[in-house]
Amino acid sequence: MGKPLIYEILEKPATSCIIGICSAIWFYIQKKNIGYQHVGLSYETAVEGHHWRIITSAFSHISVIHLVFNMSALWSLGVVEQLGHLGLGVAYYLQYTLVLVVLSGLLVLGMYHFLIQRFKIEYFRRVTAVGYSCVVFGWMTILSVKQPSSKLDLFGFVSLPISFAPFESLIFTSIIVPQASFLGHLSGIIVGYAIAWGLIHGMTNYWAVSMLGWIALVFIFSLKQSGAYDFNFLEIESVTDPSLPSVRFIGNGRTLQSTVPLGGIELV
């Protein structure tokens, strides 16, 4: 007989919070009837300065099936929080979740750029990615290196050996779900291996908080500059060197409607 759910939640506090956040965002998106094109990440919108979409795309899901699949896998991967004796644990989980969200988003944009510029595949200019799978695949990969004897449980009845799960899941989702983002999932696997093999290391609470602060600043200023949200209390004026901003506070903000060209969608 398994543990009561409340005990499992207490053993996976960070995972539980992330699942709660993603679920709340999905509910808000459904309630407000927000389209994926308003929150998803595409090469075209990134070039236009919508850098905030790296964050919003990761935590947004367009359907309940998409949400349940990602959160079910994430719940199983929450075992990372209980492996403090292997150098993992809650702090490690939070620190490198931040790294996975940002770097996997940047990497997939880099892949789009390469395919567009080198091979002239214009499809990748407008295709829009949404979902938490980049991070899910990243943790799947890290766990496959750090704890290869673990199992990945999906929906409570499908169990995969974690050592093969990243590539099994990559192939499975690409075949079963035509809209699944192969490049998005692959970027999560690449960043996951970079973390697991120590190529990306040295994260501490200090660096995580510093990184979070910079992400918040970029998020706010890209929202302002892209016109997605008009922070009227924050005005940027040119100074002697036009490349440097000057900031002053002048009033309250108001929301604007974001318009984004329609294109394809990929689930991550």
Give dist(CA 140, CA 193) in Å, integer. Answer: 10
User: Of these residues, 60, 104, 133, 150, which one is catalytic?
Assistant: 133
Q: How far apart are CA 85 and CA 199, in angstroms?
A: 21
Instruction: Using alpha carbons, list the distances in angstroms from residue 63 to 127, 148, 219.
Output: 18, 31, 25
Place of tokens 């499992």: 8
What is the torsion angle, in degrees rounded to the nearest 10, for the CA atoms of residue 208, residue 197, residue 164 and residue 264?
A: 50
113 token code pair: 């750029």
State the catalytic residue, choosing from 185, 222, 226, 258.
185
Token pair of 186, please? 């692959």
Locate tokens 């679920």: which residue? 23
Amino acid residing at 110: G
Residue carrying the six token digits 């510093």: 210
- Annotated catalytic residue 50: no
Q: What is the DSSP letter of 41?
A: B
Is 163 catalytic? The answer is no
Round the CA-based radius of gyration of the chain to a whole number and report it: 19
Instruction: Give the Cα separation of 132 and 255 in Å (integer).
Output: 26
Q: Are 118 and 168 in contact (CB under 8 A)?
A: no
3-state secondary structure of 135: helix
End-to-end, the C-alpha distance of the chain in Å comes to 33
Residue 132 sits at φ, ψ, to 5 deg, of -95, 10
Active site residue ranges: 133, 185
